[in-house]
Structure 1
Amino acid sequence: MVDHVFSAGLHRISLEVYGHNPRARHAYERCGFVHEGTLREALLWEGDRIDAHVMARLRDDPFPT
């Protein structure tokens, strides 16, 4: 999917993943996404405040092996 987006001409893909989902963050890291920052307590989820982690990948970033 990432290769398809970059072949369409985009230079950057970014996303947010929430702190209560570390497995998703790990999956994105395995696809080459880099943690760029944290939006502290950005989500109210079932009465708890959850951090949102901003991640991105650039076209020229190496794909992890």
Structure 2
Amino acid sequence: MKMSNKVYNILKYALMMFIPAVITLIGTLGKIYNFDTETIILTISAIATFVGAITGISNVNYNKNNK
């Protein structure tokens, strides 16, 4: 699977900066307001892991074709 450089950069930024910040925000607000955040945090983490794997596969394919 190949993706454009723009899409790759957006996904990379989201996976490295945005998603961890959102998970931290949800977890912190859950503690403050005393509600269970486990399900939503696990869901976001699973999706981020899947997207990270797809992004990694795209990166490997890109590097393989540019050698």
Under a length normalisation based on structure 2, what TM-score does the superposition of the two structures give?
A: 0.31
Q: Which has more strand, going by share of residues?
A: 1
Q: Which has more helix, going by share of residues?
A: 2
Under a length normalisation based on structure 1, what TM-score does the superposition of the two structures give?
A: 0.32
Tell which structure's C-alpha radius of gyration is larger.
2
Q: Which has the higher contact order (CA 8 A, sep 6+)?
A: 2
